[in-house]
Structure 1
Amino acid sequence: MSSVYYHDYLQLNKIIEAQSLESVKHQKPAHDEMLFIVIHQAYELWFKQILHEVDSVIEFFQKPSLKDDSPDQQIIIHRLNRTVTILRLLVQQMDVMETMTPMDFLEFRDMLRPASGFQSWQFKVLEARLGLPFEARVGQEYYLSQLRPEHVNLIKEAEAKVSMLNLINKWLERMPFFHDNEIWQGFSTGKTVLPLNEQDYSTAERLFWNEYFIRYASGLAGAEEAHREFFETEFFKGRANAGLSAKAARSALFIMLYRGYPMLQLPFQLLQTLLDIDEQLSTWRYRHMNMVHRTIGSRIGTGGSSGKDYLKSALDQHYIFKDIARLTSFLMERSRLPELPKAVEERLGFRA
């Protein structure tokens, strides 16, 4: 077995020599162009690592079965938490980028056309793998226009594959606790408010969600009818173009409400980690937008995008797990939650 040398293992000859300054080629050396290149190369390396983590998580969710108390789910949360940590680092790298002043950037900016961060195909693949569909993208008319055909194909392949959001939806839809009516025997409810059909929902589901809505609505101001329509649309009828189905939304809300039970701890951590990913991506876009505004003002980006305006639109619209975040609108105090039957509590405590 041959020995491994640090320099060769990391292929540092390729990495360290991979900074080719356009300003030097034009015989107008700009000191800060080295910083600009190194930071963007570091971003792309981290994008590669994030894709590595996300693809591995997607593989876990594509298994024939994924038990909520299995080591697999712990690995999933661990790798997604690593993704969140890397995204935080990407946000922090903006501090280094911002040491370059607008005048420093203008020394070489025009030499870069039409190169732009907008041409980062890895980032677009990452968004697609997480669950951002083409229909939800801003700037659809030009978001692929500046890319080479081979990179366009990679993005389209990613968009055609099942995403993490798709798989999270399927995972939530198979919530087992409402399929067994026996363990819900003795659960009491008040008047029937939600018109749920027996052929469409189990007895347990109809009893629990009817009682939950009564308690939820009683804590809100306004007409019960308006609250009922809002609740029904979210959890039974389903919203058009929603990332979560009505069934998945019910499961996610149940997990949030009763996360104190051992069986629901890992699922709750998973949902929270997905929200952390969205938050860090949003923070990164916000910092990027402010940096662009501070550096080039209202100018068009080197890649032809509308610069700050495009970044602002992406910040507002490119939330991937927003349907999980909106469930907080339907939470209530723990003290007012419906009391679960003993058999359900035992199932949620790993004692079934």
Structure 2
Amino acid sequence: MQVPMDCAVLAAQAGRTVLKWKGTTCPVHLSYTSVLYLFPKAMDPITTAVDFPTSWLLKRTIKGLSEITETRSPHGKKTNLSAEEHEDFVSSVGGGTGFVGRALTQLLRSRGHQVTHVSRQGGTDRISWEELSRSGLPPCDAVVNLAGENVLNPFRRWGDAFSREVISSRVETTKTLAKAIAAAEQAPRAWVLVTGVGYYRPSPTAEYTEDSPGGDFDFFSRLVSSWEAAALIPGSPARGVVVRSGVVLGQDGGAISQMLLPFRLGLGGPLGSGLQPFPWIHIRDLSGIVCHALEKESVRGILNGVAPSSPATSNGTFAQELAAALGRPALVPVPAWAVRAVFGAERAVMLLEGQRVLPKRTLESGYHFIFPDLAGALKDIVG
């Protein structure tokens, strides 16, 4: 396949995918290492839609809360980003057919930027990871990696094989892109990685900013440390930005889509005690922060991808607000033992405990949140 000279890269989540290209629709299956490339304006962009499986009620409820890195952002809605004139660019984004990747792609295209797809296997208008490793990164202005197997997939038993897959889907894809950036004849101007707030130690009272320590107390915090370390490119002129995301809320994917059925039936409720902090962000704000980081030359380093009101939100508060937005009660809590039975003790900590995270540097960088409060975010999603 011929890869356009002006392109960018995105890696994707597993799922059944419909690929639309120049009016032609064809079903394809993409692995979690699928990537989205940005094509130049002269070519039609690729759009995708991913369909994820559902499950029985308990798993569906918990699975919704587990999907913390994926969304949709339809065209035509107002943007939080500055209306000032900005330079169009070509970007490379890993995870582009996933929840967050689709929203980011739509936002980038709406702002005049260009987008392409890369997957495990090459084909028409796609490039494979193998080809990327062999031939290098095509000239582009920015690279974003969103790739990563869902750690809290309730259909996968936690063990050595799955933990290796979780690590590889994040660390190895990041290393591949970082290596390609380092070897590029003309390095991209920006290199953005989206990780998670699991970097910070769970606590009912401590509040964390981007400067807070972490990354060294359990498997998941060490995973984030390794993930972010894999993105480091010593001596590279590319601006490095890491966005540590909270639970991503949006339509047609992520936490909300898997929780709607039990909550609509009046069977929703908090997990465990419901007192644990619930760090969250609307999908349009997460994609907005990434776009902001790409467009604003002064942005670099760590940004927390959580809403400003997130530190005051508990799991119980979230359950009550979602139920209220749907006009239903939230009277059926999921007991802690059931969460541990589905996920095992190690993974259950991610749902039964949480962190109070503040987007201090994100706000200082000039980003303006579209949905700073939970009620407004949920009204937009389910109202």
Indicate the structure (1 or 2) with the bigger Cα radius of gyration.
1
Fold agreement, TM-score > 0.5: no
TM interval, short-chain normalised: under 0.3
Comparing both chains, which one has the higher relative contact order based on Cα–Cα distances under 8 Å and sequence gaps of 6 or more?
1
More strand by share: 2
More helix by share: 1
